[in-house]
Each structure stands twice: as C-alpha cells, then as structure tokens.
Amino acid sequence: MANTKKYGFSTKAIHAGEEPDFRDGATGDVVIPIHLSTTFARKKVDEPTAGYEYTRSLNPTRNALETKLASLENARYGFAFTSGLAAESSILLSLVKPGDHIIAFDDLYGGTKRLINNVFNNFGFEVSFVDAVDPQNVRNAIKGNTKLVWLESPTNPLLKLSDIRAVSEITKEHGIVLVVDNTFLSPYFQKPLDLGADVVVHSSTKYIGGHSDVLGGSVMLNDEELFEKIKYHQNAVGAVLPPFDSYLTLRGIKTLALRMERHNENALEIAHFLGRHPKVKKVIYPGLDSHPQYELANNQATGFGGVLSFEIEGTIDDAKAFLEKLELFALAESLGGVESLIELPAVMTHSSVAKEVREQIGISDTLIRISVGIEDVEDLINDLEQALS
Amino acid sequence: MSTIDFLHAGEQTKAIHAGETPDPVTKASAPNLVMSTTFLVDADTGFSVEGFEESDTWIYTRWGNPTIHQLEQKLAALEQAETAIAFASGMGAITALLFHLLKAGDHIVISDVTYAALTEMTNELIPELNIEVSKVDTSDLEAIRRAVKQNTKLIYIETPCNPLLRLTDIAAVAAIAHEAGVKLAVDSTFATPISTKPLLLGADFVIHSLTKYLGGHGDALGGAILGSKADLTPLRKKTAIRLGGVISPFNAWLIMRGIATLPIRMRVHEENALKVAHYLEQHPKVKKVIYPGLPSHPQYELAKRQMKNFSGIITFQVENGVEQAKTFVEKLKIIHYAVSLGHHRSLIFYLNSPDLLKSSFKFNTSEQLASWNNFAGEGIFRFSIGLEDADDLIADLEQALS
C-alpha cells in the first residue's frame, strides 16, 4: 500500500500500516504484532536495527497505528499519544513560544481550555477566546504575534460549527497555523486537512478507538517542518501511546466506517424522535435542518456524527429523574463508543462553569447530551420513550 | 481478611500485596485489568478537575483508574510515600513535575549529568519557556549551595546518575534545599526503593522511570512521581490530568506484576553485578570499572551509607572502546547490545565521551569536566546486568573481550 491515496476509506482503515511481513524470518502475519519490547538490540554499533532503538522514540506497533492514522486524514504524517490532551500539549509546546498569541474557539472542550489557561499561561502564552461560528471574529482577533488558531467543529456539547475552509483562508493569509479538533466527526465524516487546516487533532479515546477501552490522542498533518517539531516533543515529553493501546486503537479503526454510518443513522432517527416528543423543548444536531448551520454541516462534512443534545421541559430535578430512569443509556462521561452514553452538562461536564455563564452560552439545567451508540435504534428509542413518560 | 500494616511490613510483602486487595465481587486474588475509559456515575456527580479528590469514585481513566490506582498504592508503600502518581514514561513524569513547579522567571538547579533526554530537555525546552537553569555537579555540595538563588524553586538530582554512577548525598542536599525554602526532587531510578528511600532522607519528590527496575522486564514504559499529599494532590489536578501523559492501565498492570519480584530481583542484580565487576576489574583489557558496590568507587563510603543495595549497573572502560563496541555487537551471545537498563535481560551500550559532550552534556567549569573524565574517561560501556546466571555472563564477556 505504497500509495494509499487511490484507496477508499475502509480499505485504508483495514490495510494501511499493516502490510503482511514477508521479510526473512518473518511470519507473514497480516495483523501487526504487539511489540511490547521497550528496547531494540543492534546488529551494528552505529545504527539502530530497522530504525528501532527505544519504544518512546519509535515502536513498530505504534508506528503501524501512526501510518494508519495519517492515511485516514489523507495526511503525510500521524502521531499517537497517551490521550487527546497529551496530543494537544505536544502541539502547543511545539508550535507556540512564550509571548505568542493563540486564538481559540470559545466553545472548546473544557480540558483544552484548562490546559491553555492553567498550564501554558505560566509561561507567558497569550490567548483570545472568540465565537468562531463567524470566521470574521477570528480575523478580528488576529494580532502581530498570533501563531495559532484552534478550532473544534462540531463543539461539545452545543454542536456549533466553524467554517474550516473560510477560517483556513484567513490563517493562510497571515501565515498562522490552523489546528482543528476533529474528534466529534472522525476522519470518516470530515477531513479538515483537505478543507485547508494545517494540523488535525483527535481524542482517539472516542470514535477512532470506539470501544471505550483505550485512551489515546492523535495528530495528523502534512507539513514536514511541523512534523519534525512535534516528533521532537513527542519523544522529549514522553506521552507516547503504548503498544498494547496502539493495538486496541488499530483494531477499533478497522470498523470505523461501519460504526460511523450506524452512529449517524441512529442519531438522526433519535433526533427526529426527540423533535416530535411533547416533553422535548429543543434538539441540537447538525443533521437536522433546524440546526442554524445545517448548510455548512452538509458542505464541509459527509455526515453528522453520533452526538446530539436536547433540552427537556421542567427543572433540573426532572432532568435527573429522566436520566436515572434510563435502562440502556449509561450515565457516564466520554463519548464515541459503541455503547450509548448520556450526561447532564449542567451538573457533570460543565459543573465548574457558573450558572449564569452556562445559561448565557446555552447550557441550561435541562440540556442533555447523548452519545448515540450502535445498538438497535428501536431499543434506544423505547428506552428514551419510557424514561420521558 | 483484614488489612496489612504496610508501614511495618517487609519489602517483599509490600511488593506483592500493597495496592492489591482481592476483587470484592469475584474474590479474584490477582488484580483485574480495568481498561474501561469511563465509569458509570450518579446524576449529580460533578466533572471538574477543581473539585476532584483522590478518594472520589472513578469517573474517567485520565483522572484515575482502579488498575493505575493499585500500582500507585504499591509504589507509595515501597517508597514509604504518602502518595504516588503514575505516568506514561519517566520523561512524562519529569515533564509533569517541572511544568507544575516552575513558571517563567523561576530557576532550577539540576545535576550537570542526568539521563540524556532530561539533560537535553533542560538545555532547550525549559530555557525556551523562560525558566533559568543552572547545571552543577551535585556531588559537590558547595556548588549546589552557590547555585541557589532568590528565584530557585527546585533542586533536581539523580543518584546514582546516568551514566556516570556518580552519587549525590541526598540528606545533605535536602538540608541545603530546605534551608533555602527550595523543593528537592530525586530521580532514584538506578537505586530503586529497595536500595534507597529518598523521601526518608529529606527529599520532597522521588521520580522513577518504571520502565527500568520497577517494571523490570523490558516490556512496558512507565514513570512515577512520589511525595506528600500536600505536594502531589495539586500536581495531579494540574499537570498530571491536564497534560494528559497518563499511563495505560495495561502498562500499569504489567509493571505491578513486575514489582512483585522487585526485592528478589534486586538481590540477584546486585550479586551478579558484584561478580561481573570483580571479573572485569582483574581483566587485562579493562582500564577501569565503576560500581557503587566496589571499594574503588570514588564515593564508596557514601554508597554504603545511602544504598542498601548497589543495584545492577556498572560502567567500564577499555582501550579503544569504539572498536570494542563493534566486537561486542558481533561476538556477544547472551548480552544484548541495546539502550535502556534495569531489565531481567543483560543490556550493554557504549557511550563515547566526545559524542556525549557534544550532543548533551555542557560544562561551565573545569572541575565539572574533570569529574566527567574521572568517571567516564574517553567513553564507557554502560552495562545493565540482568538476572541470567553470572557464570554465563562472565563467559560471554570473556569470549567477546579476547
């Protein structure tokens, strides 16, 4: 698979990085082995055998995953980290220096905001949070020292979109690096690099891994200079995805296309069901024509993903009562797994945000987020129905 | 079954039992491996790092996970620490420590010879963040005292240091640090808690690359920071959770499995190292052997005082090390020519002084260079002596040296 560009997504998801090993003495296995070894013996003093020296720097199983990850985003390079935040830390350390300015979507994942505000602020990084639903807000925030624009699209949990093409035109004009967190749609539905972004980041804990059994973070990009910088920091900081976890992630990716289709199908049906339900005030899902950016959703992605939010009638206690009545939906953090998960942002993911601020940005007491799994959708709808009644 | 008093238990009992209680549901005696990234919660469980306490129920694996927690408890028991945090690698642990304690304008005093990856990080990345770095020979207490300034926040030492096996007097440095109101971190990877317990000697933080002796089998990267709850709880909330360099539960489980044999492994590592060191000392081709367990070690008195076990790493010098390295790669049968150390398997690697002084170690004074030359000469073989039969290792060296 030297030229992966000519193959479809599923073919790449299955084959990229995992060519059968026919070298002398190799077994011809079609699945990459889990190379647990932390160190690699040398045949010659001056060079590591086959390039491998120490697992933190390079490991065959992680390397297979990194190759596969790159191919999924049509990228030249891929990286696998221990978590989405470790991936983000390495991007920030590599691309921003003290005194530099970052522009970030004001609806970013809380962990990313805290990483920027509570860790990197100690070293003199400047940041402006803007509403990136309107690309002009990004343009207006640019200063002489702006080095990075950081977007998520769709955002969590409000599912706001940012026009990646339009923002990339602005960043290109100013020589600014555009980073897009593509966790919510996965490369199956959206390819930010093809839309003009410079760096893509994922929490592979979510759809890419897909089975809620492995943490991970991915970075994909095309630029060689950015690649070298991130490679250096990946090794220096040492938050590399272990071989076993790399294997679980590789294994998950093989069904990514099938899973995403099903997540999307189920989410759309549930969105329609909820939209018709008298106890539901509002449904937010980019696949509904009621979403204010429905046209953009169709324009920059080929699907809408499996996360949707909705607001029910009543008080916070009604919301809690509803959640506790559910049988199939697990009340838990995280998303993107095969199983359906549900949460109440006001008391769970966004409990640290003041109530007034929360309500101002649209996270009311009864806003509920679902990560729709790939179970039979009738069963999911029946469960929601019984819990709402 | 009632609980074990780990404060008074022996090392081998702690290595086996600490952190591992039988599974409450299945009564499984060996620990489960919990790979789940998320955990079911009640409807009003908060999800904010600020409100997060160690004793809270499990929420999300990056914050805490039952398997990782078991490893952390075991590590804490071995170091007699209040608490421990595990990371994806030793460098992951060190990064979290430095990013937690230091901000722009602060100053760190660090050993001029440390693990090369850390030396390189403090040559480049840390100064780029506007943190001042002073590198001193930390076996020289006066040099440390002179280097401490108003804005010093941390003294960072390795003992024995990699690759020189030069020692630093932990208790003496702790006294200097605390007099100045500065924290002391000790990388104790080479010593292990079986040899030295830096916290009991006054250190504030202990760092381990779990990849080495603790895991001990060369199959899992990992790192850890140990210390007081007062120091580590904020660190966990800030850089451990936020930088995201979390250890995989699978690696935690493998490392925990490795620790069960740590005390008996260290005994054999030391036994083998002494035998091999004595053999090498009398070999006509060997110019110098450095091992903390040999009376010829320049700091043998300190070694005896500070190390209950001299561990399994020796260095030695021969005429024309570069050529000998090539011969070793060709001729050695049992000993692997590879980086890393602390494994059950013997590993050897040649470290050429001119190359290292160019790429990593930069000295400010002639005394610092003299100390390097005293320990390393033109170059050293760093030999991590494994658990094979010592006679076989000696025979392997004998045929490859002749």
- Residue B311 or A346, more confident: B311
B221 with A205: Cβ contact below 8 A: no
Q: Are A177 and A65 members of one domain?
A: yes
**pLDDT confidence of residue B12:** 93
Provide the mean pLDDT of chain B.
94
**pLDDT confidence of residue B298:** 97
Q: Exposed (0-12), middle (13-18) or buried (19+): which is B313, by Cβ within 10 Å? A: buried
Here the ipTM equals: 0.85
User: CA of A124: which chain B residue's CA is closest?
Assistant: B104
Q: In one letter, which amino acid is B130? A: N
Cα dist. A157→A5, A30, A153, A324 in Å? 33, 39, 11, 20
pLDDT above 70 covers a percentage of chain A that reads: 99
Q: Are A246 and A263 members of one domain?
A: no
Given A253, A275, A308, which residue is the final one in a domain? A253
State the DSSP code for A313: S
pLDDT interval class at B100 (50, 70, 90): very high
B89 with A240: Cβ contact below 8 A: yes
Containing structural domain, residue A377: 256-388
Q: Are A47 and A192 members of one domain?
A: yes
Ranking A120-124, B88-92, B203-207, B397-401 by mean pLDDT, the lowest is A120-124
Q: Evaluate the omega torsion of the peptide bond into residue B24 and state whether it is cis, within 30 degrees of 0.
A: no
B311: left (phi over 0), alpha (psi -120 to 50) or beta: left
pLDDT interval class at A170 (50, 70, 90): very high
Residues of A in contact with B49 (CB under 8 A): 114, 352
**pLDDT confidence of residue B51:** 56
The answer to whether A207 and A341 are in contact (CB under 8 A) is no
Given A213, A231, A253, which residue is the final one in a domain? A253
Is A109 among the residues known to form the active site?
Answer: yes
State the DSSP code for A332: B
Q: Which of B60, B250, B326 sits opposite A334 (nearest CB)?
A: B60
Q: pLDDT tens for residues A57-83?
A: 999 999 999 999 999 999 999 999 999
Provide the mean pLDDT of chain A.
94
Query: Mutate which of B126, B208, B243 to test chain A, going by most A C-beta atoms within 10 A?
Result: B243
- Number of structural domains in chain A: 2
Q: pLDDT tens for residues A8-36?
A: 999 999 999 998 878 778 788 888 999 99
Ranking A113-122, A185-194, A235-244 by mean pLDDT, the lowest is A113-122
A214 with B220: Cβ contact below 8 A: no
Q: Are A122 and A261 members of one domain?
A: no
A143: domain CATH number? 3.40.640.10
pLDDT interval class at A3 (50, 70, 90): low
Query: Mutate which of A36, A108, A237 to test chain B, going by most B C-beta atoms within 10 A?
Result: A237
Question: How many other C-beta atoms can be found within 10 angstroms of the C-beta atom of residue B280?
Answer: 24
**pLDDT confidence of residue A26:** 79
**pLDDT confidence of residue B84:** 97
A252 CB contacts (<8 Å, ≥6 apart)? A208, A209, A210, A211, A214
User: CA of B42: which chain A residue's CA is closest?
Assistant: A331
Q: Are A285 and A358 members of one domain?
A: yes
Is A56 among the residues known to form the active site?
Answer: yes
Q: Does B175 touch chain A (CB under 8 A)?
A: no
A351: domain CATH number? 3.90.1150.10
- Residue B86, classed as helix, strand or coil, is strand
Q: Which of B88, B250, B326 sits opposite A244 (nearest CB)?
A: B250
Q: Are A263 and A185 members of one domain?
A: no
pLDDT above 70 covers a percentage of chain B that reads: 96
pTM of the model: 0.91
Is A181 among the residues known to form the active site?
Answer: yes
Whether residue B72 has pLDDT greater than 60: yes
- Residue A164 or A334, more confident: A164
Domains and CATH numbers, chain B: 11-259 (3.40.640.10), 263-401 (3.90.1150.10)
Q: pLDDT tens for residues A302-331?
A: 999 999 999 999 999 999 999 999 999 999
Mean pLDDT of A279-299: 97
A332 with B38: Cβ contact below 8 A: yes
- Residue B63 or B221, more confident: B221
pLDDT interval class at B6 (50, 70, 90): confident
Q: Which two tokens stand for residue B321?
A: 């090390």
Q: Are A195 and A241 members of one domain?
A: yes
Q: Are A235 and A267 members of one domain?
A: no
Within the 41-80 window of chain B, which residues sit less than 8 Å (CB to CB) from chain A? 41-51, 59-62
Q: Are A234 and A271 members of one domain?
A: no
Which string of DSSP letters, residue by residue, matches B44-83? Answer: T----GGG--TTSPP-BTTT--HHHHHHHHHHHHHHT-SE
**pLDDT confidence of residue B5:** 84
CA–CA distance, A84 with A104 (Å, rounded to integer): 17
Whether residue B1 has pLDDT greater than 90: no
Beta strands in A162-306 (DSSP E): 177-181, 199-203, 217-221, 280-284
Torsion angle, alpha carbons of A272, A278, A279, A283, to 10? 30
pLDDT interval class at A269 (50, 70, 90): very high
Within the 203-232 window of chain B, which residues sit less than 8 Å (CB to CB) from chain A? 211, 218-221, 223
Residues of A in contact with B32 (CB under 8 A): none
Whether residue B55 has pLDDT greater than 80: no
Q: Are A202 and A226 members of one domain?
A: yes
Mean pLDDT of A274-283: 97
Given A229, A253, A277, which residue is the final one in a domain? A253
Q: Are A213 and A137 members of one domain?
A: yes
Q: Are A274 and A362 members of one domain?
A: yes
